[in-house]
Structure 1
Amino acid sequence: MLRMSIQTILRGTLMAGGVGVFLAAASPVPVAAQDPTPMRIAVEGAFPPFNYLDANNKLQGFDIDIANALCEVGKFECQFIIEKWDDMIPDLIASKYDAIISSMSMSLERRQKVAFTEKYYNSPSVFIARKDSPIRDISPAALSGKILGVTSSTAQESYAKHFYPDMKKTVFRSSPELYKGLSDGSVDIILEDKLAIYDWIANTKAGTCCEFKGPDLVDVTYFGEGAGIALRMDDGDRLARLNAALKTIKEDGTYDMINAKYFPFSIQ
């Protein structure tokens, strides 16, 4: 297990009498971390197995473990802030936090707004349908008349709008809602990050309903060159420190240990 050195702040959306309620759970920073640099990290918390809330309302997942390791090695005093996916880049630019570690693909569109570290993992996108579906061909012509599910403000939504403009689409707020829409039949097929949905298909009862359809989709314009940590354009010092920390955890075996915890294959 990774040794944790982090204070976790979960920003909830509960409202009481019109006033936002903030949920906080703190862990002490070890004495060994001398004069750590504060770093507020935005994470969605609804994208298992990369980032999600467990039964105890605690953040878990690959992104979280990677962030903890980078904070340890890079000497950052880190805070996690749960944020809506649509608000992440605007609120990063507005300095409401300092970094996004939430499986954000480094698309060309996003690179025009924020800076990215080196990639910390890579994953293609893929179509998924129920096993009893007659769908075999995932070309735009073959899927005409079908209902496609995507998650809001994702690379998959942008890709679908461009290459499947005539398909009916249902846009879900989060990946769990997207998967439920597929399993309960409210959509015919979905487009999702392959690693994100792998755990649902392989390890959940609900996921046994469904399977991958067609080849992996790799498109730098829409899906970027992997997932990176997003920072403000002028945050060069933090960018360099995070890249150095990422290099360290890949060389000392920490990254491989975290990888093996979630996937039986390398996702570098």
Structure 2
Amino acid sequence: MRISTRFFAAASIAALSLLAGNAMAEGEKLIIGTEGAYPPFNNLEADGTLVGFDIDIAKALCDEMKVTCEFVTQDWDGIIPALQAKKFDAIIASMSITPERAEKVDFTNKYYNTPPAIAVPKDSDLTEATTESLAGKVIGAQGSTTHSNYVEKHMAESELKLYPTADEYKLDISNGRIDAVVDDVVVLSEWVKSEDGSCCKILTTLPIDEVINGEGAGIAVRKGETELAAKFNTAIDAIRATGKYKEINDKYFDFDVYGE
């Protein structure tokens, strides 16, 4: 579970946001909100291009629904309020389906499900991720995420340090300012394999807490817009059946991120 760029005129927003919740005719437009700071799922390149698994899945779903989608980036901690304010029509940004969020938005079925993990410096003396072994350690996580909630609950004797994006916690652990970080296993695995993440290693994956981690990442829509959610669900099933999902999955990962 994030540099704001707008790809459309302000005058278009009000008109386009009316589409959500209504039957969508072929060729209509849908505005998709994402973060753009969470590789390999979604990331805003220097040239303004959005790339990543979330982005490719969103494009495939839009093609399946026969609608035109445009993207807008939004800082993570304001992404649900921005959806509620009709700045976009749906969120496709690796958002975990949790009971707390479900009080504010409606979700589609999952489109992937991967567990959390903890990463530490390569020279760390940590050998396990228990409450006792992590006591007194400073652990970084992105704020307003399931991962920060996980640390609060399961690593209560540690000091939690929150960051606005994953980039900031990566910088701090690289420079020895914190002892560990918690995030999605895919995000951390891709990072430690890169030059920027050469400082660190995955200590272990963490047991899923269904209340905190939810049932996977879903697409969020405004409360009551069940018809739009249903259309996304139909499209998710379709790209799974046609092999398009696997094609996108294999572009980024060497295992099936859809999960059980």
| TM category, shorter | 0.7 to 0.9
Query: Following TM superposition, by how much is the alpha carbon of 1:79 offset from its aligned partner in structure 2, in angstroms?
Result: 1.5
Letter in 2 for 1:229: I
**Structure-1-length-normalised TM-score:** 0.85
Residue of structure 1 in register with 2:20 after alignment: none
The C-alpha deviation readout for 1:219-267, integer Å capped at 9, x for no partner, is: 1100111100001121111111111111111111110010011001111
Query: Following TM superposition, by how much is the alpha carbon of 1:216 offset from its aligned partner in structure 2, in angstroms?
Result: 2.8
Residue of structure 2 in register with 1:125 after alignment: 116
Larger RCO (alpha carbons 8 Å, 6+ apart)? 2
Question: In 2, are the aligned partners of 1:11 and 1:24 still within 8 Å (CA)?
Answer: no
Query: Following TM superposition, by how much is the alpha carbon of 1:36 offset from its aligned partner in structure 2, in angstroms?
Result: 2.3
Q: Are 1:259 and 2:249 an aligned pair? A: yes
Matches of 1:251 and 1:137 in 2, distance apart? 40
**252-261 or 154-163, which deviates more:** 154-163
Question: In 1, are the aligned partners of 2:107 and 2:221 still within 8 Å (CA)?
Answer: yes
Letter in 2 for 1:260: D
Query: Following TM superposition, by how much is the alpha carbon of 1:23 offset from its aligned partner in structure 2, in angstroms?
Result: 5.7
Specify every segment of 5 or more residues in structure 2 that has no aligned partner in the other structure, as ranges. 10-23
Question: In 1, are the aligned partners of 2:83 and 2:90 still within 8 Å (CA)?
Answer: yes
**Quick one: structure 1 residues 69 and 131, their matched pair in 2 at CA, closer, same or farther if it must change by over 3 Å?**
same
Residue of structure 1 in register with 2:125 after alignment: 134
Which SS does the other structure have where 1:117 is aligned?
strand
- 1:142-153 aligned within 5 A: 142-153=133-144
Residue of structure 2 in register with 1:223 after alignment: 213
Matches of 2:231 and 2:247 in 1, distance apart? 21
Residue of structure 2 in register with 1:98 after alignment: 89
Query: Following TM superposition, by how much is the alpha carbon of 1:165 offset from its aligned partner in structure 2, in angstroms?
Result: 2.6
Which SS does the other structure have where 2:239 is aligned?
helix
Query: Following TM superposition, by how much is the alpha carbon of 1:212 offset from its aligned partner in structure 2, in angstroms?
Result: 1.5
C-alpha RMSD over aligned residues: 1.9
**Quick one: structure 1 residues 146 and 71, their matched pair in 2 at CA, closer, same or farther if it must change by over 3 Å?**
same
The C-alpha deviation readout for 1:92-114, integer Å capped at 9, x for no partner, is: 12222110000001111111221
Q: Are 1:116 and 2:107 an aligned pair? A: yes
1:234 to 209, 212, 224: 224
Query: Following TM superposition, by how much is the alpha carbon of 1:11 offset from its aligned partner in structure 2, in angstroms?
Result: 4.6
- 1:66-77 aligned within 5 A: 66-77=57-68
Residue of structure 2 in register with 1:198 after alignment: 189
Matches of 1:91 and 1:218 in 2, distance apart? 28
Q: Are 1:37 and 2:25 an aligned pair? A: no
**Quick one: structure 1 residues 174 and 129, their matched pair in 2 at CA, closer, same or farther if it must change by over 3 Å?**
same
Matches of 1:23 and 1:72 in 2, distance apart? 19
1:57 to 48, 65, 68: 48
Q: How many residues align?
A: 242
Which SS does the other structure have where 1:65 is aligned?
helix
Residue of structure 1 in register with 2:236 after alignment: 246
Which SS does the other structure have where 2:223 is aligned?
coil
